[in-house]
Amino acid sequence: MWTKWKKCAGELDFIITRVMQLSDKILIVDDEPDVHDLLKAYLGRIEGVDILSAYSGEEGVKLYKELHEKGETPALVIMDLNLSGKEDIELIDLHKDGMDEKLDGVRATEQILKIDPKANIWGYTAWFDTDWAEKLKEAGVKKIVERPVSFQKFVDMVRKFLQK
């Protein structure tokens, strides 16, 4: 009986410690400033939440590590897949395959999970139903939320429409 109690108490201590380590911070990792602005506008309605921005995978990993080391681990990381800063599909393909200089969402997720295996990461991406999104799931995200069209692409579509 004492052994079960001791084990249960140890698990409870771990859970309490973990909850105390989590902050009210949400870290957005996306290369599109407009996505940050919109998410901040909507997520900012959640009382007591501090929303932080990283505009590249590298910046996201660095910021997560700094916060985690200070005991201010974000409660949630919202991660885009395409962090290339590019709209050209050939350049995005290089990015997706790890053949450019920037971390994509999969590699950034893997690095954050090396820092903190218990990190809560959600994918938020226009690449929702692709092999790339499947790699993000395999990397360890808890959830993937679809963002059907990038904001810049939508603006370009509207611009083209208005020019006709």
φ, ψ for residue 125 (rounded to 5)? -150, 150
User: Which band of pLDDT confidence, cut at 50, 70 and 90, is reported for residue 162?
Assistant: low
Q: Over the stretch 14-23, which tens digit does the pLDDT of each residue have?
A: 433 443 445 6
CATH number, domain of 25, equals 3.40.50.2300
- Kindly state the tokens that stand for 161: 């429409």
Query: Would you give the DSSP letter of residue 22?
Result: B
Who has greater pLDDT, 106 or 9? Answer: 106
Who has greater pLDDT, 92 or 21? Answer: 92
Who has greater pLDDT, 155 or 123? Answer: 123
How many Å apart are CA 91 and CA 153, to the nearest integer? 16
Split into its structural domains, the chain has a count of: 1
Contact between 144 and 130 under an 8 Å Cβ cutoff? The reply is no
How many Å apart are CA 93 and CA 79, to the nearest integer? 18
Who has greater pLDDT, 113 or 156? Answer: 113
| Average pLDDT of the residues of the chain | 78
Q: Over the stretch 32-41, which tens digit does the pLDDT of each residue have?
A: 998 899 888 8
Q: Determine the pLDDT at residue 9.
A: 42
Contact between 22 and 70 under an 8 Å Cβ cutoff? The reply is no
User: Which band of pLDDT confidence, cut at 50, 70 and 90, is reported for residue 49?
Assistant: confident
Tell me the residue range of the domain where 6 lies: 2-163
- Kindly state the tokens that stand for 57: 């995978």
How many Å apart are CA 117 and CA 64, to the nearest integer? 12
Who has greater pLDDT, 96 or 162? Answer: 96
Average the pLDDT over 77-90 and give the result. 80
Whole-model pTM?
0.76
Q: Is 2's pLDDT higher than 80?
A: no
